[in-house]
């Protein structure tokens, strides 16, 4: 992969940082964007020890001219669209910003690639949230979308934009329909990291109570650094396509909570309180995936299931807390 250039929109996030590390190891020149590269801390790139190996520039997917400038500067062989508002919960409070950053942003990127006509291959980050409730039936790439949040609506729109440009203009453009994937790089506004951080503080004697909303929801949780491998593999295929990326195993949020507290030798029921104020207006009750297409065509399969994810996140949080003391 030497002499190949990749442009990652949203490089400072969880997935962007892990993807940058993966592609650096493969010999790519890695260019990444942030809305304001001079002000961004790029904390995740620094945590992974790769900040000095990455070229960063300012770009906003909401600004067509800005996107063109980024493509013209980087001249990428591969483009990864990982930018945009990434919180389902926050999307209910900021629906317009969510749609603009994802729906309009993706359209600006697609139109820029078409305008440049450089042959660059595009990966677009889609989401399992697009499926909505499938009543426990494992979702495949053919399952209809029934989004239940402003975030999911925006991701669904972006998915079909990618499909349209692929069919209408012959772009090599793929969407990865990723189910939940976690890591220590998650901010605490994501419930998994919120749980891990609180549990570790409680184990250290904080005396606090962890407040959660609906713990009966069921999700497919994987390990983020594995999922970026699937992203890269999509762009190495002869033909573009869309793929579900998931473990194929579903657990309840209560299972995750129990696992995290058990890693710390704690009984979760003694430290957790359910709070109706934390419930979303609408939510997906059961999220189940069938990732067989990725396993067959990409030869990719998740190696870590939810218990592994919980254990690794707790271990890293404990290490972080001990290093501060």
Q: Which residues are catalytic?
A: 127, 129, 151
Q: Can you give the three-state secondary structure of the chain, one letter per residue?
A: CCCCEEEEECCCCHHHHHHHHHHHHCCCEEEEEECCCCCCCCHHHHHCCCHHHCEEEECCCCCHHHHHHHHHHHCCCEEEECCCCCCHHHHHHCHHHHHHHHHHHHHHHHHHHHHHCCCCEEEEEEEHHHHCCCCCCCECCCCCCCCCCHHHHHHHHHHHHHHHHHHHHCCCEEEEEECCEECCCCCCCCHHHHHHHHHHHHHCCCCCCEEECCCCCEECCEEHHHHHHHHHHHCCCCCCCCEEECCCCCEEHHHHHHHHHHHCCCCHHHCEEECHHHCCCCCCCECCECCHHHHHHHCCCCCCCHHHHHHHHHHHHHHHHHHHC
**Cβ neighbours around 136 below 10 Å, total:** 11
Return the bridge partners of 223, or none: 182
Distance CA 265, CA 203 (A): 8
Are 107 and 162 within 8 A, CB to CB? no
Q: Is 117 left (phi over 0), alpha (psi -120 to 50) or beta?
A: left
Pairing of strands 251-252, 218-219: antiparallel
Distances in Å between the alpha carbon of 27 and those of 55, 75, 187?
A: 14, 16, 29
């Amino acid at each position: 992969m030497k002499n190949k250039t990749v442009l990652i929109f949203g490089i400072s996030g969880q997935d962007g940082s892990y993807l940058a590390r993966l592609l650096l190891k493969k010999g790519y020149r890695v260019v990444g964007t942030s809305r304001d590269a001079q002000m961004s801390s790029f904390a995740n790139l620094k945590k992974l020890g790769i900040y000095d190996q990455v070229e960063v520039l300012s770009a906003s997917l909401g600004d067509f001219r800005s996107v063109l400038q980024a493509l013209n500067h980087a001249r990428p062989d591969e483009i990864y669209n990982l930018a945009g508002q990434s919180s389902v919960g926050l999307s209910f409070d900021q629906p317009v910003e969510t749609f603009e950053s994802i729906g309009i942003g993706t359209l600006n990127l697609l139109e820029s690639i078409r305008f440049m006509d450089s042959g660059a291959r595009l990966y677009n980050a889609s989401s399992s949230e697009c499926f909505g409730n499938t009543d426990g039936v494992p979702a495949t790439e053919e399952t209809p979308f029934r989004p239940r949040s402003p975030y999911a609506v925006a991701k669904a729109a972006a998915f079909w934009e990618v499909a349209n440009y692929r069919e209408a203009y012959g772009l090599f453009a793929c969407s990865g329909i990723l189910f939940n994937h976690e890591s220590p790089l998650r901010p605490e506004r994501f419930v998994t990291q919120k749980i891990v951080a609180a549990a570790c503080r409680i184990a250290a004697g904080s005396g606090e109570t962890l407040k959660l909303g609906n713990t009966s929801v069921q999700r497919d949780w994987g390990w983020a650094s594995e999922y970026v491998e699937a992203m890269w593999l999509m762009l190495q295929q002869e033909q573009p396509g869309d793929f579900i990326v998931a473990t194929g195993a579903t657990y309840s949020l209560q299972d995750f909570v129990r696992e995290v507290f058990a890693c710390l030798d704690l009984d979760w029921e003694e430290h957790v309180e359910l709070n109706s104020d934390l419930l979303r207006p609408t939510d997906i009750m059961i999220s189940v995936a069938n990732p067989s297409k990725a396993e067959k065509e990409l030869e990719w399969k998740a190696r870590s299931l939810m218990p592994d994810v919980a254990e690794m996140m707790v271990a890293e949080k404990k290490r972080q807390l001990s290093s501060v003391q």
